[in-house]
Amino acid sequence: MTQRCVAILYQALPPPVIDGLRKDAKPGGYSDGGADIAVALRGRGVTVATPVAAPDPAVALDWVFPDTAAGIAAAIAAGADTIWANTVLFAGHPLEQVRAPVGIVGQEPAAMQRFDDKFATNRMLGDAGLPVAGSFLLSGSARPGVVALDGVAGAIAARGMAFPLIVKPVRGRGSQGVTLVVDLPGLVAAAGVLIAAATFGDMLMVEAYLPGEEMTITVLPPDAPRPDGRVAGGQHALRPVLRFDQRGGVAPYNGDVPVSANSVAIAAARMDEPAVVAMVAACEAAAAMVGSRSAIRIDCRADAGGNFHLFDLNMKPNMTGPGRPGRDDQDCLSAIAAQADGWEYADLLLAMLAARWVAG
């Protein structure tokens, strides 16, 4: 691999409101994971540009630049020829101004904005024949394509859905705002609170609850090597990770419970199960449909018959990992998947770096 100088961005820009919807900013703006990435890459001999001359591994902001125009300019002035966009991107983001010879690790900003809409993305995937959880949009008042809260009972019946159901934000982050509801009063109450708070905007999703196993699949882009070293082309999935110990039917937010405490890669023998083979193929097809340029993660859950459905495509998965003080239990789901096939956290990051791309 060509020697690179990498600078990591964190989310400093406030998330925009898009069509009345917003993605709530993560406290710290992913600076914790950004610092994890920087320290791990430096430990493998990659040159990492930092905003301070002698960064302290215990201080996340010593290792990352803000994702503002000034922050990106400072990163390039510090010698970076690669900008790692460990942040939430959107159309008009300053990253769009980065051009050759400076490269990018991350998604195209407009693509992230488009596919961060979970409802529209799932509808697109479903229209293409991929298995997705059924859902509809809900708000305080009716509009084209959106059900009013006082009409939700009829909408459920018309779609042949049944309780329990999931209520969640359209542009959510992790499991924040995601609630399992077992009856109509519970749905109305949960949705009413979220709509009134407007933390995620003025619309929600009502989604079919799938009672079977929950797995999450990390998919790497074509230029990233596989764990066996091959660069075979095409979007390719890492080992699925099984989620367990859900709370109220929902995986807890990783800020409350580290995913290392409730997630494990499936055994190699399970990779030949027809339901797992179909799930992996569907996730790889979904990654190709969204034109993913970096690692994405897709959450899937099995129905009562054991068939998996995609329900959450995440264009910027959490990418935390061990290496800094107090971070030994911070393996992200993608790192857990990578470890199952012999990679360490840093190997996953080097594979992502190999998929660096250049705009314009």
Q: How many CB atoms lie within 10 A of CB 229?
A: 7
Q: Vertex 218, ends 308 and 26: CA angle to 5°?
A: 105
Is the domain of 350 the same as that of 224? yes
Is the domain of 78 the same as that of 173? no
DSSP string, 292-324: -SS-EEEEEEE-TTS-EEEEEEESS-----SSS
| 112 domain-assigned | no
Q: What is the pLDDT of residue 308?
A: 98
* Number of domains within the chain: 3
Instruction: Read off the pTM.
Output: 0.96
Q: What is the pLDDT of residue 176?
A: 85
Is the domain of 101 the same as that of 220? no
| 222 domain-assigned | yes
d(C-alpha 301, C-alpha 162), whole Å: 17
Q: What residue numbers bound the domain in which 235 lies?
A: 214-354
Is the domain of 32 the same as that of 144? no
Q: End of a domain among 167, 186, 208? A: 208
Is the domain of 221 the same as that of 337? yes
Nearest to 199 by CA among 23, 342, 79, 48: 23
Q: Name the token pair of 237.
A: 């999935």
Mean pLDDT by 10 residues, the chain (360 residues): 90 91 88 98 98 98 98 98 97 97 98 97 98 97 95 97 96 88 97 91 95 98 96 94 94 87 97 98 98 98 98 96 95 97 97 96
Considering only the C-alpha atoms of the chain, give the largest distance between any 2 of them, rounded to a whole number of Å.
62
Residues 6+ apart with CB under 8 A from 127: none
Do the beta carbons of residue 115 and residue 128 sit within 8 Å?
no
Q: What is the pLDDT of residue 232?
A: 81
| 37 domain-assigned | yes
Nearest to 290 by CA among 129, 115, 168: 115
Is the domain of 251 the same as that of 344? yes
Q: What is the pLDDT of residue 1?
A: 54
Domain containing residue 142: CATH number = 3.30.1490.20
| 127 domain-assigned | no
| 119 domain-assigned | no
Residues 6+ apart with CB under 8 A from 292: 107, 111, 219, 221, 235, 315
Q: End of a domain among 184, 208, 232? A: 208
Tell me which DSSP letter residue 138 carries: E
| 115 domain-assigned | no
